[in-house]
Structure 1
Amino acid sequence: MPYRSNSELPSGARHHLPPHALDIYREAFNHSFASHAGDLRQEEIAHRTAWAAVKRSYVKRGDQWIPKWPDA
C-alpha cells in the first residue's frame, strides 16, 4: 500500500528518521511498490528499497540518523 504522508509510515521509520529521511523513505517505497506490482514480495521489496535509499544519504550514529553530507 503506498503511503500518502509520512505519518502513515511504519513506526520503525517514523520514530527514528529525521523528516527529510522520512520523505526519502516514502518516495522510494511508493516508487518501488508501483514498480513491483503483481510480485508476491511487493511490499517487502519496497521496504528494502526504501531503507536502501535512506542509507545512501544518511548514516546511523548511535541512536540517530544523520546526513552523510551535512552541507547538502
Structure 2
Amino acid sequence: MPYDSISDLPASVRDHTPKHAQEIYKEAYNSAWTEYKDPSDRRGDASREETSHRVAWAAVKEKYEKGDDGDWHAKNH
C-alpha cells in the first residue's frame, strides 16, 4: 500500500534516515507501487510491495549512504 505520509513509513526507515531521505523513500515507493502494478513488470516472483521497497531504497542510496552507526547520512559529493 502506498504511504500517505512519512510517519506511515516502516520503523526501519523512520528511525535510521533523515527526514529528506524519508521523503525520497515515500515518493519513490509510491511511484513504484503504481509503476509495477502488473506482475509482468517485476523481476522474478517479487511481490509488488517488495519491488516498491527495493526501488525506494535505491532512490535513497543515490543521495545517502549507511554509516558505521547504522544510520543513513548524506553522501559527500
Using the size of structure 1 for normalisation, the TM-score is 0.88
Q: State the partner residue of 2:42.
A: none
Structure 2 CA distance for aligned equivalents of residues 45 and 24 of structure 1? 16
Amino acid at match of 1:67: A
- For the pair 1:66 / 2:73, whether they are aligned, the reply is yes
Which structure 1 segments of 5+ residues have no match?
Answer: none
Question: Among the aligned pairs, what percent are the same residue?
Answer: 46
Q: State the partner residue of 2:43.
A: none
User: Which secondary structure state, in structure 2, belongs to the residue aligned with residue 2 of structure 1?
Assistant: coil
User: Which secondary structure state, in structure 2, belongs to the residue aligned with residue 66 of structure 1?
Assistant: strand
User: More deviation in 45-54 or 31-40?
Assistant: 31-40
- For the pair 1:25 / 2:25, whether they are aligned, the reply is yes
C-alpha RMSD of matched pairs (Å)? 1.5
Aligned length: 70
* CA apart distance, 1:38: 3.4
Which structure 2 segments of 5+ residues have no match?
Answer: 40-45
Using the size of structure 2 for normalisation, the TM-score is 0.83
User: Which secondary structure state, in structure 1, belongs to the residue aligned with residue 73 of structure 2?
Assistant: strand
Runs of 4+ in structure 1 over 4 Å off: none
Structure 1 CA distance for aligned equivalents of residues 76 and 35 of structure 2? 29
* CA apart distance, 1:60: 1.2
